[in-house]
Amino acid sequence: MTTEPEKQRQGIQSIEVGSRLLRALAANGRSMMLRDLAKNAGMPAAKAHRYLVSFMRMGLVEQDANTGRYDLGGFSLELGLASLARIDPVRLAAPVLDDLCERIGETVALAMWGNHGATCVRWVEAGGPITITLRTGVVLPLTTSATGLAFTAFYRSPYLKKQLDAELRAKADATHSTLEAVTLNLENQLEEIRSHGIARASGSMTPGINGFSTPVFDHTDRMIAAITSLGTIGHFDMEWDSPLATSIKEAAATLSKRLGHGETENSQSAKEIAIPKKLKK
């Protein structure tokens, strides 16, 4: 006898079969002929056509009257946009941060751009012999922290430019340097960060503490967060191509993918969309 929970798990097989056509259209990235669509969905063309007729009536699929090619319809777009609007980066980041912390054995954190700058919104402590914490709500400087440097390199905001100008002027005064000199030094630093896809800072914000930070992008190819890891100098490998750096970049890529980054055929790379040619003097 079938139990009630088992009955609830039973679905409608025809819907599941038909969804293969929608997946094939989404994966292809452009309109398709019936024969190709059916082949990719693993079903005969006649069977695929029947499903497509129903999907067109629902608005999930549309057909070009001139070419006969099929593509995702307006209702599919509505569903996609509604799903994207419900994405919570902080919630999705939680398991990614937990996994990263376990893998590398270092404190990790998620930062987002807030009203006052790059702000720590979540952190996971490694629990080693030396405690390194990032208080939730702390705003990180743009030029002396790994997190801030990641935002400076990849994030675009009028307020960021204003805050960056203020930090550069303060740094020039403190070091008795010219604004042009400190700006040029930062430009070179950002170029290196962009070429490696990850920012690093060694003891510049907190003595004895190293940090890596990698940008996280959403479905519009816009940086919306940074995954950061901190560790003590001498135990935190700061090489650009170290296993530690690779693990942090992989974690950021995982979260970016969950946020829809790179899902469209025409999506640009982070380097192409996020980088101004020069900092304004």
171: which residues sit within 8 A by CB, 6+ positions away?
Answer: 143, 177, 182
**Tens of each residue's pLDDT in the chain, 281 residues:** 445 554 556 778 888 888 999 999 888 878 999 999 999 999 999 999 999 999 999 999 999 999 999 999 988 888 876 765 666 888 899 999 999 999 999 999 999 998 788 989 888 988 765 556 667 888 899 999 999 999 999 998 888 998 999 999 999 999 999 999 999 999 999 999 999 999 999 876 677 888 999 999 998 899 999 999 998 887 888 899 999 999 999 999 999 999 988 764 444 343 433 333 445 44
Phi/psi region, residue 137 (left: phi>0; alpha: psi -120 to 50; beta: rest), is left
Structural domains of the chain, with CATH: 4-85 (1.10.10.10), 89-274 (3.30.450.40)
Q: Rounded to an integer, what distance in angstroms lies between the CA atom of residue 113 and that of residue 148? A: 10
DSSP designation for 203: S
- Alpha-carbon distances, residue 146 vs 86, 143, 151, 210, 226 (angstroms): 29, 8, 9, 8, 10
Question: Which runs of consecutive H residues, i.e. helices, occur in the chain?
Answer: 4-9, 13-28, 34-41, 45-58, 74-85, 89-104, 146-154, 158-175, 179-196, 243-258, 270-274
